[in-house]
């Protein structure tokens, strides 16, 4: 079912590249349909959004009733509430430590330079909800925004017949979110970007989604801010050795595969026998999984079990794949961990399962996917700040530094720049 690659084979690199590229093309193979939806919303506003909501979510209600929301929340199992409370507190505490300090600097010429972090005014958090509900995604996106001081946080969450999941709504309430739009997909991204009669636009969108949502966010970027990464579909790479538990590892791969048929699950090991055991365990465990059909499709089309012979190969492969989640389920992780440069998050040791980080460890689960971990990071408090520089030059400062600026400006052919400095340092 799941593909096995041997790094010692001469066609290994081309086989791996083809598999990775095949998935990437599938993710990106929706641009024309996404563009069509976005343009429809730009032209027709609420009418277009309702059309797509009826088609994809059996929904005709854009803004859920507040009384209905309270009623739905009241029906939530107290155990779920307590679990959300625990997650909220841990995530908030860890993200509070991420706050940046403003910088103020005065040089010897009495020039004053400042660098200040300013919260973004308004943010829309996208919370998937077409097949399953993710209260954890509400917390992961909204809490860093709260910590940063964002004044207006809006939740976008598709619901059936305009009704959201009670846990999602409770998490939103916990995060002080009162503005909710019951919409999803590319139409939701367009609506929150450009605004309609019913939907107020925001300054930035964050949050994971399927391939269509990810594509839509890329399409509207420039008209609105998006997080500096590709968020979704999900990925995990697990590195194992002979000391790993094959059942545990198999369950880690399956746990990621059940997210989405385009999810990618990769195992890397120096032990062939272990790889075979994991493969058998996957087949066995899938029989008991409610979302088995999704997981099977993911593992069949995008899953890879890789045999390698050295730590050097492991390091090279992981940095090449740049996975969203990386599990170093090996005894000698200290030898390689700091040589891994490309990964959204790294779980170390046999007990540090990726699923824990999805909920209440305190770290963020909105992470770079589709190799974007090569140049970007997961959601943090920093995502919700703008950085502004403030410059206050002294008379001595411009007179001392100005001549070299004039030299460089003239060299670049920007005489207007040079003149604006000359006029200020000209002796009277």
Sheet architecture: strand order including 264-269: 3-6, 304-307, 264-269, 235-240, 325-329, 345-348
Listed in sequence order, the residues at least 6 apart from 144 whose beta carbon sits closer than 8 Å to its beta carbon are 95, 98, 364, 379, 380, 381, 383, 384
Q: How far is it, in rounded angstroms, from Cα 415 to Cα 422?
A: 10
Residues ≥6 apart with Cβ < 8 Å to 104: 112, 113, 114
Active site residue 383: no
Greatest CA separation for the chain: 88
- CA-CA distance, 37 to 114, in Å (whole number)? 43
Instruction: Using the Cα atoms of residue 266, residue 228, residue 349 and residue 253 in order, give the sign of their dihedral.
Output: negative
Q: How many Å apart are CA 95 and CA 107, to the nearest integer? A: 33
Residues whose CB falls within 8 Å of the CB of residue 234, separated by 6 or more in sequence, listed in order: 208, 256, 259, 260, 263, 264, 324, 325, 369
Q: Can you give the C-alpha Rg of the chain in angstroms? A: 25
What helix, strand, coil percent values describe the chain, rounded to 5? 50, 15, 35
**Quick check: 260 and 23 in contact, CB under 8 A?**
no
Catalytic residue of the set 53, 325, 327, 365: 325
Q: What are phi and psi of 237, to 5 degrees?
A: -120, 125
Active site residue 365: no
- Pick the catalytic residue: 53, 219, 235, 324? 324
**So which residues are the catalytic ones?**
324-325
């Amino acid at each position: 079912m799941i593909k096995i690659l041997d790094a010692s084979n001469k066609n290994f690199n081309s086989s791996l590249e083809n598999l990775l590229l095949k998935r990437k093309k599938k993710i990106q193979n929706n641009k024309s349909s996404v563009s069509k939806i976005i343009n429809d919303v730009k032209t027709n506003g609420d009418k277009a959004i309702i059309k797509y909501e009826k088609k994809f979510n059996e929904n005709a209600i854009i803004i859920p009733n507040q009384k209905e929301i309270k009623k739905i929340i009241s029906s939530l199992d107290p155990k779920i509430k307590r679990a959300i409370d625990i997650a909220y507190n841990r995530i908030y505490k860890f993200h509070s430590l991420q706050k940046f300090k403003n910088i103020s600097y005065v040089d010897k010429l009495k020039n004053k330079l400042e660098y200040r972090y300013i919260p973004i005014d308004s943010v829309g958090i996208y919370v998937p909800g077409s097949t399953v509900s993710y209260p954890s995604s509400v917390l992961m996106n909204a809490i860093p925004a709260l910590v940063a001081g964002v004044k207006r946080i809006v939740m976008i969450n598709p619901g059936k017949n305009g009704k959201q999941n009670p846990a999602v709504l409770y998490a939103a309430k916990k995060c002080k979110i009162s503005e909710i739009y019951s919409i999803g997909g590319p139409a939701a991204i367009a609506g929150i970007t450009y605004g309609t009669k019913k939907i107020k636009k925001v300054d930035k969108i964050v949050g994971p989604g399927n391939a269509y949502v990810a594509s839509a966010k890329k399409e509207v970027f420039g008209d609105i801010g998006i997080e500096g990464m590709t968020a979704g579909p999900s990925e995990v790479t697990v590195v194992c050795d002979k000391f790993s538990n094959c059942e545990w590892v198999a369950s880690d791969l399956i746990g990621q595969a059940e997210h989405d048929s385009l999810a990618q699950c990769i195992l890397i090991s120096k032990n062939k026998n272990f790889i075979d055991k994991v493969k058998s365990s996957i087949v066995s465990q899938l029989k008991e999984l409610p979302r088995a059909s999704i997981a099977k499709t993911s593992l069949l089309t995008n899953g890879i079990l890789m045999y390698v012979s050295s730590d050097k190969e492991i390091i090279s492969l992981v940095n090449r794949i740049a996975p969203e989640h990386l599990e170093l389920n090996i005894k000698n992780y200290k030898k390689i961990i700091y040589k891994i440069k490309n990964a959204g998050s790294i779980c170390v040791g046999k007990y540090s399962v990726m699923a824990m980080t999805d909920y209440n460890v305190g770290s963020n689960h909105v992470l770079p996917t589709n190799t974007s971990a090569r140049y970007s990071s997961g959601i943090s408090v920093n995502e919700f700040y703008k950085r502004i520089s403030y410059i206050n030059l002294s008379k001595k400062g411009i007179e001392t530094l100005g001549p070299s600026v004039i030299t460089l400006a003239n060299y670049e052919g920007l005489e207007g720049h040079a003149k604006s400095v000359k006029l200020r340092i000209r002796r009277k």
